């Protein structure tokens, strides 16, 4: 991993470190996210992106400067910024008469746009309007998808995957039970309206081991309307979803450990052909020349019989 | 009995105090506990959603969260640093990666060679004892250059070298050459890994003098480096084409693909029969244009010969021009009959 396949060598040690950190790895960490402002972002889109940024915080960057670009027509700026910040997820906010309060969410693969989904924020209540205790930053939320539309509509299916990508944070092995504090609910209707709600989970006593769940809304609460989409082709998406060998968890067969912890392997050996086994050589057991001749003749006869059979079958 | 009833009653009261943790759903939810995900495929009540949106979503989410947490609480728990944690299973939702899966790094030419020969890297000590300086000197890096400087405060000029050479300069140039060679090899390895075709280098750039074989190679390569791969180049008397290991690859147009070995005896038989057929069935090919041209030429020759034979029988007249036989046409030159010995009068030019 120490060598970078690149014509121009990094000049500084730090530069080399940066380049090495940017190289693709078999098992990736959490995806970084960028939030950009498009052309004329409205107050609502600005606040909304900020709220999503707050939810995503350690793995996100919020860029407040306006950018004069249209992601659906030319996404090169996004690709450039993602390359610069080493991000794979992005959100762009813009506002126009035709598409009021426009939020574009998307992701990249190898710094090229993979998915672009445009959502209109129809109703929005920011986090600051809910006057209560919020959850800790960096918590892994429970994701709840409601409604059959998530599975039936192709765009929504991809959007579901995108939302999971945005909010699932990171693959983890263990989780603290008291740390299950945040629930994000995505409800889709058949008309393409998506209700995003965010709750704090309160664990109450139930008289049993499993607690009773109560929820308290902490915001943001957004009603999205699905607008345009630009989804990756299936083959590209499939390539992006490739699982590296290192991450595959297959059960290794025929390996066991004994009580002392030493590794035992069971191997398979084919059946031994005893007929061909070389036993002790003796002069007396040698074949005479006549015997050998007869053997040859026998073989030949067998062959010719076989051939005649084959021809007759044909 | 009184006590038993009392306890039972108490228990019942306690149970009533708590709300239930069970939820009834028409269709079961799909869970992915690895990503803490639950997917409810039950129909959304659109009427309730319109009339009382927030409360409906709240209750729906509560139910689903309860179901998800019920599942999570069933998982095996552990105790890590006085906190109770559950071990989550592998996530089942496949999400696209940010960058493609890295391919195994291609081996360099040396690594390939070492692998084929079974050469393994030997670990060298970072410090080595220097007898001359009587101290430990690093193999490379920090304090190596200083040690080297201290050691080489004087360099002897060898007998076979011009006594006026600057040995320090020579050493520096040798070093820089080594660095350049290393860099070239690094770039070549990158090009090889990316399958980029690089222009071949005819000769290794060496110091002032080249050997006879190198010169011969250079001459051969240069001769073959024309557009027609040296087909029309003249040869010097006693000129020999350069030969040797690696020369053939350098000469343009000499690379030939080796034919793949024949896989089976049947295939070999077939190919040989095909070859034989192609030889036996060879029919003379007729080049139509050539044949027509030849035919026309023959006819022309015949006609001209006939004309030659015919002329003397008719030959009463002397000279070509006929004053009496006046025609409007201008007198013309030889009329196609060429005879360099005969002087043609031609048209009078004024």
Task: Find the mean pLDDT for residues B91-117.
Answer: 92
> pLDDT at residue B117 above 60?
yes
pLDDT grade for B24, boundaries at 50, 70 and 90: confident
Residue A144 — pLDDT band, cuts 50, 70, 90?
very high
User: Average pLDDT of chain A?
Assistant: 90
Average pLDDT of the residues in B188-202: 81
Put simply, the chain A residues between 134 and 173 with a CB less than 8 A from any chain B CB are: 140-151, 161, 164-165, 168, 171-173
- Chain B residues whose beta carbon lies within 8 Å of the beta carbon of residue A141: 36
Distance (Å) from the C-alpha of residue A291 to the closest C-alpha of chain B? 31
Enumerate the residues of chain B whose CB falls inside 8 A of the CB of residue A78. none
Q: What percent of chain B has pLDDT over 70?
A: 85
Residue B327 has pLDDT above 60, yes or no: no
Residue B144 has pLDDT above 90, yes or no: yes
* B190/A142 Cβ within 8 A: no
Sign of the alpha-carbon dihedral angle for B143, B146, B150, B152: positive
- Residue B340: per-residue pLDDT: 63
Q: What is the mean pLDDT of residues B292-298?
A: 91
Strands (E), chain A: 33-37, 60-66, 89-94, 102-109, 112-125, 142-146, 174-176, 182-188, 193-204, 212-217, 221-230, 255-257, 263-265
Write the residue in A146, A176, A244 that is nearest to B84 by C-beta. A176
Q: A87 lies in a domain? A: yes
Mean pLDDT of A142-166: 93
Classify residue A268: in a domain, yes or no.
no
| Percent over 70 (pLDDT), chain A | 97
Rounded to whole angstroms, how far apart are CA atoms B158 and A32? 63
Domain CATH number, residue A184:
3.40.50.10480
Percent of chain B topping pLDDT 90: 42
Residue B45 scores a pLDDT above 70: yes
Report B:137-196 residues touching A (Cβ under 8 A): 187, 190, 193-194
- Cross-chain CB nearest to A183 (options B49, B61, B99): B61
Tens digits of residue pLDDT in B242-271: 888 778 878 887 776 677 777 888 989 998
Among A3, A156, A207, A250, which would you mutate to test the B interface (most chain B Cβ atoms within 10 Å of its Cβ)? A207
What is the residue extent of each domain of chain B? 2-86, 109-117+126-156+167-194
User: What Cα–Cα distance (Å) separates residue B321 from each residue in B4, B129, B311, B337, B345?
Assistant: 159, 116, 16, 15, 10
Has residue B286 got a pLDDT over 90? no
Using pLDDT thresholds of 50, 70 and 90, give the confidence band for residue A306. Answer: confident
pLDDT of B98 > 80? The answer is yes
What is the three-class DSSP state of A214? strand
Mean pLDDT, all residues of chain B = 84
What pLDDT is recorded for position B312? Answer: 60
Q: Does the structure show a pLDDT above 70 at B331?
A: no
Inter-chain CB proximity B97 and A108 less than 8 Å: no
Q: Highest-confidence range of A223-237, A271-285, B237-251, by mean pLDDT?
A: A223-237
| Contact list, B41 vs chain A (CB under 8 Å) | 147-148, 150-151
Across the interface, whether the CB atoms of B97 and A207 are under 8 A apart is answered: no
What is the DSSP code string of B60-83?
HHHHHHHHHHHHHHTS-EEEETTE
User: Under an 8 A CB cutoff, do B86 and A175 touch?
Assistant: yes
Selecting from B91, B99, B190 the residue whose C-beta is nearest the C-beta of A7 gives B190
| Of the partner residues A110, A201, A215, the one whose CB lies closest to the CB of residue B58 | A215
Count of other CB atoms within 10 angstroms of residue B276: 10
Task: Inform me whether the pLDDT recorded for A12 exceeds 90.
Answer: yes
Map A217-255 to HEC letters.
ECCCEEEEEEEEEECCCHHHHHHHCCCCHHHCCCCCCCE
Query: What pLDDT was estimated at residue B204?
Result: 58
- Cβ neighbours of residue A287 under 8 Å, at least 6 residues apart? A295
Closest Cα in chain A to B81: A176
The 10s digit of each residue's pLDDT in A105-127 is 999 999 999 999 999 999 999 99
Pairwise CB contact (< 8 Å): A5 & B72 = no
- pLDDT, residue B65, reads 93
From B13's Cα to the closest Cα of chain A, the distance in A is 11
Decide if A109 and B100 are in contact by the 8 Å CB cutoff.
yes
pLDDT confidence bin for B173, thresholds 50/70/90:
very high
pLDDT of residue B240: 84
- Is the pLDDT higher at A191 or at B16? A191
Structural domain span for residue A151:
30-239
CB proximity under 8 Å: B 43-62 to A? 43-44, 46, 49, 53-54, 57-58, 60-62
pLDDT(B318) > 70: no
Classify residue A301: in a domain, yes or no: no
Instruction: Compare CB distances from A146 to B60, B91, B94 and report the shortest one's residue.
Output: B60
**Contact call for A210 and B73, based on CB within 8 A:** yes
- Our count of domains for chain A comes to 1
CA distance B23 to chain A (A): 11
Rg of the Cα atoms in chain A: 33
Higher pLDDT, A313 or B276: B276
State yes or no: pLDDT of A45 exceeds 90. yes
Go through chain B and tell me how many residues it has.
350
Closest CA to B91 of A312, A306, A143: A143
pLDDT of residue A1: 44
Q: What average pLDDT does range B45-56 have in this prediction? A: 89
Given a contact cutoff of 8 angstroms between Cβ atoms, the answer to whether A16 and A6 are in contact is: no
- Do the chains contact at A108 and B65, CB–CB below 8 Å? no
Is B105 close to A3, i.e. CB distance below 8 A? yes
CB B19 within 8 A of CB A206: yes
**Contact between chains at B44 and A187 (C-beta distance less than 8 A):** yes
pLDDT band for B20, please (50, 70, 90 cuts): confident
Q: How many A×B Cβ pairs under 8 Å?
A: 203
Interface of A with B in 29-88 (CB under 8 A): 31, 88
Region of poorest pLDDT, from A99-108, A226-235, A277-286? A277-286
Q: Quick one: pLDDT at residue A231?
A: 94
pLDDT score recorded for residue B206: 59
Q: What is the pLDDT of residue B326?
A: 57
Q: Do B100 and A107 touch (CB under 8 A)?
A: no
Amino acid B203: pLDDT:
59
Q: Do A197 and B46 touch (CB under 8 A)?
A: no
Characterize the bridge pairing of strands A89-94 and A102-109: antiparallel
- B236: pLDDT confidence band, cut at 50, 70 and 90? confident
The whole-number pLDDT of residue B23 equals 85
Of A25, A31, A164, the CB nearest to B93: A164
Question: In this complex, do A174 and B42 lie within 8 Å of one another by their Cβ atoms?
Answer: no
**Residue A307 lies inside a defined structural domain of this protein:** no
Contact A161 B95 (CB under 8 A): yes
Q: What burial letters (b/e) apply to A284-296, b meaning 16+ CB within 10 Å?
A: eeeeeeeeeeeee
Indicate which of A159, A210, A224 best probes the interface with B, i.e. most B CBs within 10 Å of its own CB: A210
Q: What was the ipTM of the complex prediction?
A: 0.79
Interacting residues of B58 by C-beta distance below 8 A, sequence separation 6+: A197, A199, A215, A217
Picking from A6, A171, A213, the nearest residue to B65 by CB comes out as A213
């Amino acid at each position: 991993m120490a060598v970078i396949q690149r014509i121009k060598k990094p000049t500084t040690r730090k530069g080399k470190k940066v380049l090495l950190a940017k190289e693709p790895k078999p098992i990736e960490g959490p995806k970084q996210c960028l939030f950009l402002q498009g052309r004329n972002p409205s107050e609502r889109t600005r606040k909304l992106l900020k709220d999503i940024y707050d939810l995503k915080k350690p793995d996100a960057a919020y860029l407040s400067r306006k950018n004069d670009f249209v992601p659906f027509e030319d996404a090169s700026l996004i690709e450039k910024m993602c390359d610069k910040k080493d991000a794979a997820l992005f959100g762009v906010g813009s506002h126009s008469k035709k598409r009021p309060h426009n939020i574009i969410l998307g992701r990249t693969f190898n710094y090229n746009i993979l998915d672009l989904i445009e959502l209109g924020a129809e109703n929005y209540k920011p986090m600051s309007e809910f006057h209560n205790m919020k959850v800790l930053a960096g918590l892994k939320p429970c994701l709840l998808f409601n409604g059959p539309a998530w599975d039936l509509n192709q765009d929504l299916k991809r959007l579901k995957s995108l939302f999971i990508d945005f909010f699932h944070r990171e693959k983890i092995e263990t989780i603290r039970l008291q740390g299950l504090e945040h629930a994000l609910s995505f409800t889709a209707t058949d008309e393409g309206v998506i209700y995003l709600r965010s709750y704090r989970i309160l664990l109450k006593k139930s008289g049993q081991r499993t607690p009773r769940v109560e929820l308290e809304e902490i915001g943001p609460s957004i009603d999205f309307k699905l607008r345009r989409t630009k989804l990756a082709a299936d083959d590209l998406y499939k390539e992006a979803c490739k699982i590296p060998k290192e991450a595959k968890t297959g059960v290794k067969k025929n390996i066991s450990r004994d009580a002392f912890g030493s590794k035992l392997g069971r191997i398979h050996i084919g059946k031994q052909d005893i007929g061909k086994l070389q036993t002790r050589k003796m002069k007396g057991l040698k074949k005479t020349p006549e015997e050998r001749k007869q053997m040859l003749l026998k073989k030949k006869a067998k062959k010719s019989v076989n051939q005649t059979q084959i021809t007759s079958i044909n | 009995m009184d006590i038993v009833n009392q306890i039972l009653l108490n228990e019942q009261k306690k149970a009533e105090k708590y709300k239930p943790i069970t939820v009834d759903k028409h269709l079961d939810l799909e869970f992915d506990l690895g990503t803490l995900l639950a997917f409810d495929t039950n129909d959304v009540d659109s009427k309730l959603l319109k009339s009382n949106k927030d409360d409906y979503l709240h209750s729906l989410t509560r139910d689903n969260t309860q179901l998800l947490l019920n599942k999570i609480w069933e998982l095996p728990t552990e105790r890590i640093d006085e906190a109770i944690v559950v071990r989550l299973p592998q996530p089942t939702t496949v999400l696209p990666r940010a960058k493609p899966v890295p391919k195994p790094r291609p081996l360099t030419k040396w690594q390939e060679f070492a692998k084929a020969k079974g050469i393994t890297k030997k670990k060298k000590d970072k410090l080595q004892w220097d007898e001359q300086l009587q101290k430990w000197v690093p193999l490379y890096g920090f304090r190596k250059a200083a040690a080297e400087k201290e050691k080489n405060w004087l360099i002897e000029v060898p007998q076979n070298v011009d006594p006026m050479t600057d040995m320090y300069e020579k050493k520096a140039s040798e070093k820089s050459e080594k660095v350049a060679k290393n860099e070239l090899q690094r770039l070549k390895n990158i090009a090889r890994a990316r399958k980029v075709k690089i222009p071949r280098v005819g000769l290794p750039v060496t110091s002032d003098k080249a050997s006879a074989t190198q010169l011969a190679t250079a001459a051969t390569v240069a001769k073959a480096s024309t557009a027609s791969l040296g087909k029309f180049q003249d040869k010097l008397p006693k000129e020999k084409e350069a030969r040797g290991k690696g020369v053939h690859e350098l000469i343009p147009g000499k690379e030939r693909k080796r034919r793949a070995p024949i896989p089976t005896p049947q295939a070999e038989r077939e190919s040989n029969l095909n070859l034989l057929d192609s030889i036996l069935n060879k029919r003379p090919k007729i080049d139509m244009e050539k044949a027509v041209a030849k035919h026309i030429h023959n006819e022309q020759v015949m006609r001209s010969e006939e004309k030659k034979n015919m002329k003397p029988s008719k030959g009463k007249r002397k000279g070509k021009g006929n004053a009496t036989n006046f025609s409007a046409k201008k007198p013309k030159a030889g009329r196609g009959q060429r005879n360099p010995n005969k002087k043609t009068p031609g048209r009078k030019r004024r």
